[in-house]
Amino acid sequence: MQDLLIFWGASEQVCLKWKLDDTAKSGDSDIVTNQGVELNAGYLIKSEEILKADLSCLADMAESKRVSLILSSQDVVASNLDIPNRNPKLMRKAIPFMMEDEVSTSVDSLFYAYKDVDKNIPVSVRGIERDYLESLISQFESAEIKLEQILLEQDLLLAPEEGINILLEESNCSVINHNGQVWNCEPDDFSWLMQKQLADMQEKHSESPEAVNGTVSEESLAIAISLNIYSSVDCSGLIRDLPVGRFAVKTKPIESKESLLMESFSSANIINLMQDEYEPHKGRSELGLFLTKMCTIAAGLFIVFIIFQTSKIITLGEQKEQLDARKMTLYKQAFPTRKVPPSSARAVKNMRDHMKSLGSSSDSSGFLKILESSSQSLTDLDKVHPTNISYDITRNELRLDLIASNLVELDKFADALKSNGHQVERSSETQRGEGFSSRLIIRN
């Protein structure tokens, strides 16, 4: 996968520059030419410099690239700190207090990214305004471009084997020495800053054991420090202001700053500003996303199933309690003189045993037969309806208390019983409201 480098420049600049890493372009489907990059048959970016407001036009290209945003060193504070305790949690708490002398704003308004390589080497720290960092991330999210990392221009400079490397621009000078220490300044300030560093070096040498009487000879210092100047602008003024005889200057013209930084991108010792809460989430394959989605759906269905089953269990439990209460009520009505059993299951068993005993008795079987044959004559309960039924086993007779709407209907019911082969005795009728009550004694 190719790398897409977006050089954002300073925060006040309205344009950005982008470049594709040429190391993988031979096997890539995009066509990289001097005229532009053909994204598809109907879309062409003709310039490597575009407005920041038009960032979204890079979304198609960035979809299949690793995107790195490179910020100007002017908007980020860089420092090397000697931190005794290298515990990651303690380091992140200690860095803001150690950076108070390095920044002019509140240390709490900055987000600090760092890289701890070796306990014997100072920790490289980069501080950037949180609001600025969050606005950049939000701007790229709005453009639908996924950022892999946010870097600093000065971190892409390669350290020389010895001496100093300089990236010279019209308004900025980025410097890196053989120890990997990086700093920035105005081109006009470079000369006196280097003289100050040389004076500090001479002072350190004078305090070393090799110094005689606290002084150091000129021969003990480096006669000519290697100084490589990479620049696309005129650097004669900077060379003219350098201390005489102190540097062995080599100028190396470059096409542009972006071209130089892109060449060193893959091998530079970079510090990604997207750390801690700003760290990008690792991408997952389409299969992984599909499986995750399916697992989510399955989990949702399982939860719905559990809720549904739980509601059914609760409902059935309530129904069971109601049925148990009805069973106990029925038992009390059927056996008012008997002791109430401890459970509804026991009550049901007792009632079933009693019904079986009734059915198995030759005398009791007559009750069921006479009850069945008598009930066949009850064709309209609105005209004749029973209120109480009792049975005398010894006499094998059914006693039926009932209420009839009128005496005619009562006579019809008695005649129907007689026509079915029953012997019927009637007690005297008593008027109740609009109807008449009576007792019939029925025998086979």
Is residue 363 predicted with pLDDT exceeding 70? Answer: no
pLDDT of residue 216: 43
pLDDT of residue 359: 54
From 360, 378, 396, the end of a domain falls on 360
pLDDT of residue 27: 43
pLDDT of residue 279: 86
Together in a domain, 269 and 142: yes
CATH code: domain of residue 124: 3.30.420.380
Is residue 390 predicted with pLDDT exceeding 60? Answer: yes
CATH code: domain of residue 241: 3.30.420
pLDDT of residue 285: 56
CATH code: domain of residue 438: 3.30.1360.100
Residues 344-369 have a mean pLDDT of 69
pLDDT of residue 26: 41
pLDDT of residue 190: 87
pLDDT of residue 37: 45
pLDDT band at 128 (very low <50, low <70, confident <90, very high): very high
pLDDT of residue 67: 92
Together in a domain, 195 and 246: yes
pLDDT of residue 30: 45
Please, what is the average pLDDT of the chain?
81
Is residue 314 predicted with pLDDT exceeding 90? Answer: yes
pLDDT of residue 110: 92
Summarize pLDDT for 418-442 with one digit per residue, the tens: 888 888 888 888 888 888 899 989 8
Together in a domain, 290 and 378: no
State the total domains in the chain. 4
Together in a domain, 51 and 190: no
pLDDT of residue 257: 87
Together in a domain, 297 and 399: no
pLDDT of residue 212: 45
pLDDT of residue 273: 92
Summarize pLDDT for 368-384 with one digit per residue, the tens: 788 888 888 888 888 88
Structural domain of 328:
284-360
Is residue 155 predicted with pLDDT exceeding 70? Answer: yes
Together in a domain, 124 and 197: no
Together in a domain, 290 and 432: no
Kindly report the pTM of this predicted structure: 0.56
Q: What percent of the chain has pLDDT over 70?
A: 86
Together in a domain, 148 and 170: no
Is residue 56 predicted with pLDDT exceeding 80? Answer: yes
pLDDT of residue 171: 83
Over 135-200, what HEC string results? Answer: HHHHHHHHCCCCEEEEEEHHHHCCCCCCCEEEEECCCCEEEEECCCCEEEECHHHHHHHHHHHHHH
Together in a domain, 44 and 188: no
Together in a domain, 38 and 121: yes
Summarize pLDDT for 229-279 with one digit per residue, the tens: 999 888 888 888 888 778 889 999 988 888 888 888 888 778 899 998 888
From 282, 314, 349, the end of a domain falls on 282
Together in a domain, 35 and 144: yes
Summarize pLDDT for 58-109 with one digit per residue, the tens: 888 888 888 999 998 888 988 888 888 788 778 888 888 888 888 878 888 9
pLDDT band at 396 (very low <50, low <70, confident <90, very high): confident
From 326, 360, 394, the end of a domain falls on 360
Of 23-37, 174-188, 273-287, 298-312, the poorest mean pLDDT is in 23-37
Summarize pLDDT for 39-53 with one digit per residue, the tens: 443 345 778 889 999
pLDDT of residue 138: 93
Together in a domain, 132 and 87: yes
Of 81-90, 199-208, 323-332, 387-396, the poorest mean pLDDT is in 199-208
pLDDT of residue 40: 40
Of 33-37, 158-162, 167-171, the poorest mean pLDDT is in 33-37
The whole-angstrom separation of Cα 257 and Cα 48 is: 13
